[in-house]
Structure 1
């Protein structure tokens, strides 16, 4: 069983993490949000939000993703992650919700992704069937961009990845088995590092892990 995570415990782990940045001026800056939400009658079950991108998007359509996107000019990465989370899922979080950052991850599609870990606390699906209760925030996925949003419980996130070889690269391709499917890099790599650090206290590096060829564009 994975350990019980709290806002304070994750913040402490990330405060002691010697994160690596990627000095890649040839790539554009981007940020993604690793958003921790709580469910259950006592709001003690922690989940990580993951989305399925809409099928008609111009790039990376239908792929698994974390809320995020390009960092605007003069915008801090933590501000970009919070803005993208609000735009994609309607989840507006204060700056105090930021727990820390993971390693930068350079992508084949031209970005350096900075993962920002946030604590959202109690949330609801934000639907008529599951309206928000007092103290809960409601999710409001953005139509046309987000096909679906899921919460991954920690026991499901605590899985061993698969590493495969491809002829196009000397680096191993990571496949993270989640929800009966494979989640690939960059999302799979970022979630794997979070799992290693938050659940096991291991500063496992993932910047060298490869993406599948379909994600290179």
Structure 2
């Protein structure tokens, strides 16, 4: 798949906002013990076209060394967008306003007890990244072309009869749910214009912390 959606920032922002506005997102209702987190799918210009930012988390604390989207636990009184943007600033030094949010995808009910709310942004001038060494081990970019490619999602049969999604972003770079599920829904809804749900996606045991 090629075209202005994957390479031109204004075209991406216009299309993404329209498709997210037309998407009837699913929210996880409040429940005893449920915790909430917000993450950001942040699309920026990158050599060869537009790309989404992923991080490898610092090798300490929750989700040590795992692939993830910038984001984290919501503070009291925060909306998902407010918390996700605060975390984007704290983790990568990107300070955006709520008006820059293009829309949101489904809450993902993670097996760790979190409902994770992904928002989509595409800042016109994000400025330089300033990763926090306390939270971020490394920063990576995955091109929208790669996310939209037919061979990026792979469904691996499991012994219980289910299938495990693997998002193959590059040789040796495979991302599973929850992050992989949110990237897959972003691909389906925003890049390909198809409605798709992810709440039932399997997670590897090591992501359940």
Report the RMSD for the aligned CA atoms in angstroms.
1.7
Once the 2 structures are TM-superposed, how far is the Cα of residue 210 of structure 1 from its aligned partner?
Answer: 0.9
Q: Residue in 2 aligned with 1:130?
A: none
Q: Does 1:144 align with 2:140?
A: no
Among 119, 131, 146, the residue aligned to 1:156: 146
Conserved? CA contact 2:40–2:88, under 8 Å:
yes
Once the 2 structures are TM-superposed, how far is the Cα of residue 50 of structure 1 from its aligned partner?
Answer: 0.4
TM-score, normalized by length of structure 1?
0.86
Q: Does 1:68 align with 2:71?
A: yes
Q: Does 1:85 align with 2:88?
A: yes
CA distance in 1, matches of 2:14, 2:56: 29
The unaligned stretches of length 5 or more in structure 1 are 124-136
Q: Does 1:11 align with 2:17?
A: yes
Q: Does 1:107 align with 2:107?
A: no
| Structure 1 residues 192 and 2: CA distance shift in structure 2, 3 A | farther
| Structure 1 residues 10 and 29: CA distance shift in structure 2, 3 A | same
CA distance in 1, matches of 2:142, 2:154: 18
| Structure 1 residues 122 and 2: CA distance shift in structure 2, 3 A | farther
Q: Residue in 2 aligned with 1:131?
A: none
Q: Residue in 2 aligned with 1:134?
A: none
Conserved? CA contact 1:3–1:199, under 8 Å:
no
| Structure 1 residues 170 and 207: CA distance shift in structure 2, 3 A | farther
CA distance in 2, matches of 1:186, 1:60: 12
Q: Residue in 2 aligned with 1:54?
A: 58
Conserved? CA contact 1:24–1:112, under 8 Å:
no
Conserved? CA contact 1:2–1:199, under 8 Å:
no
Conserved? CA contact 1:50–1:150, under 8 Å:
yes
Once the 2 structures are TM-superposed, how far is the Cα of residue 4 of structure 1 from its aligned partner?
Answer: 2.2
Q: How many pairs were matched up?
A: 199
The unaligned stretches of length 5 or more in structure 2 are 6-11
Could you list the runs of 4 or more consecutive aligned residues of structure 1 that deviate by over 4 angstroms after TM superposition?
A: none
CA distance in 1, matches of 2:129, 2:62: 24
Q: Deviations over 1:144-174 (max 9, x none)?
A: 210111121111112341222445x664321
Q: Residue in 2 aligned with 1:133?
A: none
CA distance in 2, matches of 1:27, 1:170: 28
